[in-house]
Structure 1
Amino acid sequence: MTTMTEAEAPVREFKMPDVGEGLTEAEILKWYVQPGDTVTDGQVVCEVETAKAAVELPIPYDGVVHELRFPEGTTVAVGTSIIAVAVAGSSAEAPPEPKPKPKPEPVEEAKPAARTPVLVGYGVSTSATKRRPRKGAEIPAQEASAAVQGELNGHAGIAVVERRPLAKPPVRKLAKDLGVDLATVTPSGPDGIITREDVHAAVAPVAAAEPVQAPTPAPLSPAPVTYDTTRETRIPVKGVRKATAAAMVGSAFTAPHVTEFVTVDVTRTMKLVEELKQDKEMQGRRVNPLLLIAKALLVAIKRNPDVNASWDDAAQEIVLKHYVNLGIAAATPRGLIVPNIKDAHAKTLPQLADSLGELVSTARDGKTSPAAMQGGTVTITNVGVFGIDTGTPILNPGESAILAIGTIKLQPWVHKGKVKPRQVTTLALSFDHRLVDGELGSKVLADVAAILEQPKRLITWG
């Protein structure tokens, strides 16, 4: 009994899947296999980058890699085969695609005898038939007389009916625009059909023979842009950066942004951070100011739930959310992404710390899934890690508010009637003014500031 070789094994095509909602393409970042490698069901074969994240793709069957259809760095449309795998056994073979049935030859209907031109004494001509004109279309008299020219065939004198050149309507229009008589064109298509290439081929020698007339020179196409590669570097805009740019432009010119600021003494919050790091329940967890600021924002949303909403332009409705998917803006080598913590409002402080730690590490590794970046309701962006006092953040599309955290540093501050060095930061809250008016936005920002000044309010308010 012989064993089926790789060449004899059926080959299955693995197509680029839609790894997100509505994504149309993805870039192949890295292949983990090469032709000749054995793969098993569920094995990751490549990493691709979509407009939302980098994703690893597993192969859904066993076999031997037959061919990689595209090299690394290629952007491939969803549904296009990216790898061929020779699978062993007929059970793994994909059902063969049905071969397309050959198109039946067009049957030309014979014209009624009364309408067929003949020469007296010779009966009906059967040497050629004309195609039936479209319904409602009349053949001009001159065209009809030209199409039915009687040529004497030797001594017999039989009338020969000339056929109208076969060509599709777009080709006929092209020929008309170029001034080409289709009767002079040699067809190259099936069944004697004239193609666009035939028309261009017919006009080329005519154009060459005619004298060049250039009273008005044609506009020159712009010269290709050149630049000094030692002084400039061009980076193609694609993947996450392209999607982020489009989203920010859409947000900035769709939602009317309003930004409010508050400067806060966070000295007590910083002391609480140090205390929590020593707490047994928080051991091994990520404890930092961002954790407490995130918790403060969640408490402020609980006290002012109308801020957690979205604008449905199609239905002309405001959608109030009874959950909070808290987005955290993360800078990665591939660009800015905003994954979110699902149902953050229902998490305890240790659970929130675990979710923040997982979110940050996943984003840094470039493994954030598209699902993790969908469905956000509000976002926090921490520009303070870059030493920036604050900013005017742009809303993540579909969300109502975004909180920017500035750097925390020692500043002179009036505390209990005396000027003392205190840990101070500036917060900025941008919100969609269609959904959030000045009063509501101010209440949310004031609540966050009050909690950070007196973090014990987390217990009483939360």
Structure 2
Amino acid sequence: MGIKEFKLPDVGEGVAEGELVTWHVSPGDTVTEDQVVAEVETDKALVDVPSPYNGTVKELRAEEGEMVPVGDVIITFEVEGEGDEGTETEPETESDESEAAEEPEEETPPAETESPSGRVFAPPSVRRLARELGVDLSGVEGSGPSGRVTETDVRTAAEGSGDGDESGSTGPRNVSFSGKSAVSKAGDSGDGQAAESSGSAGGPKAAGREKTLAAPATRRIAEEEGVDIDDVPATEERDGEPFVTEADVRQYAEVQRAAQTADARSLAAEEGAGEAGEAAESTAEAVEPEAESVDAAGDRVPYKGVRKAIGDQMQRSKYTAPHVTHHDEVDVTELVELRGEYKPLAAERDVNLTYMPFVTKAVVAALKQFPYMNAQLDEENEEIVLRDEYNVGVATATDAGLLVPVVHDADGKGLLELARETNELVEKARSRKISPAEMQGGTFTITNVGVIGGEYATPIINYPEVGILALGEIKEKPRVVDGDIVPRKVLTLSLSFDHRVVDGAIAARFTNKVKEYLSNPKLLLLE
């Protein structure tokens, strides 16, 4: 029986520390590899920390609520068949390798090696595969829990080196504690099966396998969650077969529950809401905030983590970019009718169609005609950079504060694709499972104040972008049409812009173009 120390991993996104929010284990508990032992909050997201070993918890080295620097030991394990080696182990000998080969794959604790770039986590079978394929593990970025290197990572690195790809991978990857990888373009997960399962209004797509590898503890969790483990998309492989982890099961179950809730809400809205209800419906239901905080009057709430990161960003933006806000109204009666016509058709394809994809398409079409609204100011080089990509952020209220998932390459997506991707990103933001890469690279942001009944706002720019558009509530108001006063559906718009880059005349013309598309939404079909 040997002692293994586990340090708070570095997620590679500039995070120096994290708050240990919750322990899911206690000293003396038996744990399995990939079992979630703690939750840690950084200034970017709330992440699960899985155990890299099969063993017994010996000691918890951090208290709940404590800020822990990356690299500090947070927990120790007693592991069967290991010498008392602390955090370091020597490279495997041939005898070690043969002993590990005789053990069942699920029971093999991952081995560690030390490389110049830092610690490399990999089980013996993966290290053997790396030697066979001539892959240096120190150059492989792990996609498994806590950055563990999997067989898929090694094979990908081998294929990459064979075709001249020096990076040893098929694309950019952002590794999180939970072992999920995400690339810089939202929606392209690098794992087709996992991408399909990330959730839509109609629920995650089941894998439908006949055979699934998983640890006994993972199978128990699947039973508790009421899901068929053969339907859970796997993020790892063992000996060429899908290997489902506890994180996979929990994510699949969570998405199923979210989809069922969305379906129930949609059904209730359709049964109980008439035309007046549609008019009062939020401009983008997908960004509806969660319930009010449970914090009570008189409490002192720590200003840290995501909340502080949001505050720092808002302060930087407000004191860097001179803000000006332009307000206007637009008659969206035809948009309300068109969306009402398309919504049941979208539902047949398991997509909850909100107003947000219509607004996104209108904004992108206007940005193409007014490139200074899709720009950034490079202060160091004294240049205005006119961006040639259209990555639209969608401000989302969560229980931790405002997060901004980014729909990348929005100009190349249709209404249903925009709706599906926006819904998925918003749900991931609310559940705090969104990766930093999915909140980066935005060129313009849309926020919705109408969801809580607001009309006008002065939104703060998501710096270094130069513009942000706030949507008010769609309300029925009197308008003059062909000389008659008639009730019409009216949406308020509030555009904040960086006056160093954008003049008031450009902002007004940009808003007018957005209004043109929203008042005559059939024009969007030509975009």
Q: Distance in 2 between matches of 1:230 and 1:297?
A: 40
Is 1:290 the counterpart of 2:356? The answer is yes
- Look up the SS of the partner of 2:437 in the other structure: helix
Q: Is the 2:476–2:487 Cα contact (8 Å) retained in structure 1?
A: yes
Q: Distance in 2 between matches of 1:25 and 1:443?
A: 45
- Find the counterpart in structure 2 of residue 456 from structure 1: 522
- Find the counterpart in structure 1 of residue 36 from structure 2: 44
Q: Distance in 2 between matches of 1:61 and 1:296?
A: 51
Q: String of CA shifts for 1:287-313, please: whole Å, max 9, x gaps.
A: 122221122112212232332121222
Superposition pairs of residues 420-431 of structure 1, within 5 angstroms: 420-431=486-497
- Find the counterpart in structure 1 of residue 19 from structure 2: 27
Report the TM-score when normalising by structure 1.
0.65
Superposition pairs of residues 53-72 of structure 1, within 5 angstroms: 53-72=45-64
Q: Is the 1:68–1:83 Cα contact (8 Å) retained in structure 2?
A: yes
Distance apart, 1:20 and its partner CA: 5.5
Is 1:333 the counterpart of 2:390? The answer is no
Q: Is the 2:21–2:41 Cα contact (8 Å) retained in structure 1?
A: yes
Distance apart, 1:281 and its partner CA: 7.3
Q: Distance in 2 between matches of 1:323 and 1:23?
A: 27
- Find the counterpart in structure 2 of residue 253 from structure 1: 319
Q: String of CA shifts for 1:363-387, please: whole Å, max 9, x gaps.
A: 2222222222222211111000111
Distance apart, 1:230 and its partner CA: 9.3
Is 1:81 the counterpart of 2:77? The answer is no
Q: Distance in 2 between matches of 1:269 and 1:230?
A: 41
Is 1:307 the counterpart of 2:348? The answer is no
Q: String of CA shifts for 1:432-454, please: whole Å, max 9, x gaps.
A: 12222223322321111111100
Q: Distance in 2 between matches of 1:334 and 1:50?
A: 11
Larger helix proportion of the pair? 2
Q: Distance in 2 between matches of 1:330 and 1:91?
A: 49
Superposition pairs of residues 48-447 of structure 1, within 5 angstroms: 48-90=40-82, 94-95=87-88, 232-279=298-345, 283-447=349-513
Q: String of CA shifts for 1:336-376, please: whole Å, max 9, x gaps.
A: 11121222222221111111111222222222222222222
Distance apart, 1:255 and its partner CA: 0.7
Alignment RMSD: 2.3
Q: String of CA shifts for 1:106-145, please: whole Å, max 9, x gaps.
A: xxxxxxxxxxxxxxxxxxxxxxxxxxxxxxxxxxxxxxxx
- Find the counterpart in structure 2 of residue 197 from structure 1: none
Distance apart, 1:425 and its partner CA: 1.4
Q: Distance in 2 between matches of 1:370 and 1:286?
A: 25
Q: String of CA shifts for 1:166-205, please: whole Å, max 9, x gaps.
A: xxxxxxxxxxxxxxxxxxxxxxxxxxxxxxxxxxxxxxxx
Distance apart, 1:231 and its partner CA: 6.1
Q: Is the 2:346–2:352 Cα contact (8 Å) retained in structure 1?
A: no
Q: Distance in 1 between matches of 2:486 and 2:83?
A: 78
Q: Is the 2:461–2:496 Cα contact (8 Å) retained in structure 1?
A: yes
CA gap of 1:95–1:19, structure 2 versus 1, over 3 A, is closer
Q: String of CA shifts for 1:414-438, please: whole Å, max 9, x gaps.
A: 1222111111011011111222222
Distance apart, 1:314 and its partner CA: 2.3
1:419 partner letter:
I
Q: Is the 1:54–1:369 Cα contact (8 Å) retained in structure 2?
A: no
CA gap of 1:442–1:76, structure 2 versus 1, over 3 A, is same
1:24 partner letter:
A
| Unaligned ranges ≥5, structure 1 | 1-7, 98-228
Q: Is the 2:459–2:469 Cα contact (8 Å) retained in structure 1?
A: yes
- Greater Cα shift, 37-46 or 326-335: 37-46
Q: Distance in 2 between matches of 1:392 and 1:408?
A: 18
1:323 partner letter:
E
- Look up the SS of the partner of 1:404 in the other structure: strand
Q: Is the 1:412–1:421 Cα contact (8 Å) retained in structure 2?
A: yes
- Look up the SS of the partner of 2:420 in the other structure: helix
Q: Is the 2:405–2:426 Cα contact (8 Å) retained in structure 1?
A: no
1:95 partner letter:
E
Q: Distance in 1 between matches of 2:78 and 2:378?
A: 49
CA gap of 1:324–1:60, structure 2 versus 1, over 3 A, is farther
Q: Is the 1:62–1:87 Cα contact (8 Å) retained in structure 2?
A: yes
1:361 partner letter:
E
Q: Which has the larger radius of gyration?
A: 1
- Look up the SS of the partner of 2:320 in the other structure: coil
1:395 partner letter:
I
Q: Distance in 1 between matches of 2:438 and 2:296?
A: 40
Q: String of CA shifts for 1:20-54, please: whole Å, max 9, x gaps.
A: 62222211122222223333443332211111221
Q: Distance in 1 between matches of 2:343 and 2:332?
A: 17
Q: Is the 1:43–1:58 Cα contact (8 Å) retained in structure 2?
A: yes
Report the TM-score when normalising by structure 2.
0.58
Q: Distance in 2 between matches of 1:437 and 1:419?
A: 35
Q: Is the 1:65–1:84 Cα contact (8 Å) retained in structure 2?
A: yes
Q: Distance in 2 between matches of 1:327 and 1:452?
A: 19
Q: Is the 1:52–1:373 Cα contact (8 Å) retained in structure 2?
A: no
Q: Distance in 2 between matches of 1:282 and 1:414?
A: 37
Q: Is the 1:19–1:370 Cα contact (8 Å) retained in structure 2?
A: no
